[in-house]
């Protein structure tokens, strides 16, 4: 199994080689509550990853579908996949350096502190209400009900802190175009450049074993 340290080092090299993409300045956020909630999205983004003194940035394609399916694919030189993580709601798949690792959600060996439903909520801007028996969860929303900050502390795991901002209206839904996730090991920023809401998404795109020998699957 590839170590978290090696995974980040490989990803950083790919992103640096691919060149940094500029992030656009923020505009005004929509006033009033959203007219609908996005149950799925297809998006292009710029991702920036910070760990210790190293920072890397590059392009990414993102899919998300409620309640717990997502796919984040980061591209390196020549459009090749540098790293990819996905969830079908039951398993987490991590593909890096040509190796695919699978984890069941709840497995203590998962190298991340988030849960599948949390990630989909952050990516789509959809409301997320954790089970009442989950301790250490704090969430703050603005006057329109949009999630702004989310944090969770759990014994024996790194804390999770998420900040959402730069909401944009996309066909009536309010989508956070700036997502920052900190989990104690890394600081990940996702900046959307294009977002499509409620597209039809093939379920096999959330299961990496279906594409393990087919190279890059950049989502259009």
pLDDT of 103 > 80? The answer is: yes
pLDDT of 8 > 90? The answer is: no
Contact yes or no for 178/165 (Cβ under 8 A): yes
Predicted confidence band of residue 49 (pLDDT cuts 50, 70, 90): confident
**C-alpha distances in angstroms, 128 versus 10, 48, 63, 119?**
33, 24, 18, 10
Phi-psi region of 72 (alpha: psi -120 to 50; beta: other; left: phi over 0): beta
Predicted confidence band of residue 161 (pLDDT cuts 50, 70, 90): very high
- Pick the residue with more confidence: 158 or 66? 66
The two three-digit tokens of residue 126, written as one number: 């959809």
The two three-digit tokens of residue 175, written as one number: 């989508």
Q: What values do phi and psi take at 120, rounded to 5?
A: -60, -40
> What are the domain boundaries of the chain?
4-211
For residues 212 and 99, give the distance between their C-alpha atoms in angstroms, rounded to a whole number. Answer: 8
The two three-digit tokens of residue 92, written as one number: 């987490």
- Pick the residue with more confidence: 53 or 166? 166
The two three-digit tokens of residue 170, written as one number: 């996309």
Candidate CATH numbers 3.30.1490.20, 3.40.1350.10, 2.160.10.10, 2.50.20.10; the one for domain 4-211:
2.50.20.10
Indicate the helix (H) or strand (E) that contains 170.
strand 160-170
Q: Exposure string (b/e) for 95-132, b if CB count within 10 Å is 16 or more?
A: bbeeeebebeeeeeebbbbbbbbbbbbbbbbbebebee
pLDDT of 125 > 70? The answer is: yes
Q: Region 99-114: what's the mean pLDDT? A: 87
Among the listed residues 103, 61, 80, the one whose alpha carbon sits nearest the alpha carbon of residue 10: 80
Q: What is the CA 190 to chain-centroid distance, rounded? A: 7
């Amino acid at each position: 199994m590839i170590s978290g340290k090696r995974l980040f080092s490989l990803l950083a090299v790919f992103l640096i080689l691919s060149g940094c993409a500029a992030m656009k300045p923020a505009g005004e956020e929509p006033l009033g509550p959203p007219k609908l909630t996005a149950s799925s999205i297809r998006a292009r983004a710029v991702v920036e990853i910070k760990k210790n003194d190293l920072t890397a940035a590059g392009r990414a394609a993102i899919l998300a579908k409620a309640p717990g399916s997502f796919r984040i694919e980061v591209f390196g030189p020549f459009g090749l996949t540098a790293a990819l993580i996905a969830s079908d709601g039951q398993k987490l798949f991590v593909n890096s350096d040509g190796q695919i690792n699978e984890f069941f959600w709840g497995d203590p060996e998962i190298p991340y502190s988030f849960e599948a439903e949390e990630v989909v909520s952050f990516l789509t801007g959809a409301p997320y209400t954790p089970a009442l028996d989950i301790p250490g969860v704090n969430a703050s929303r603005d006057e329109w009900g949009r999630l702004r900050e989310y944090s969770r502390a759990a014994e024996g795991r790194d804390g999770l802190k998420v900040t959402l901002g730069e909401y944009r209206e996309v066909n009536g839904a309010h989508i956070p175009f700036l997502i920052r996730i900190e989990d104690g090991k890394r600081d990940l920023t996702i900046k959307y450049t294009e977002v499509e809401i409620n597209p039809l998404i093939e379920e096999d795109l959330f299961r990496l074993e279906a594409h393990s020998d087919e190279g890059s699957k950049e989502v259009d």
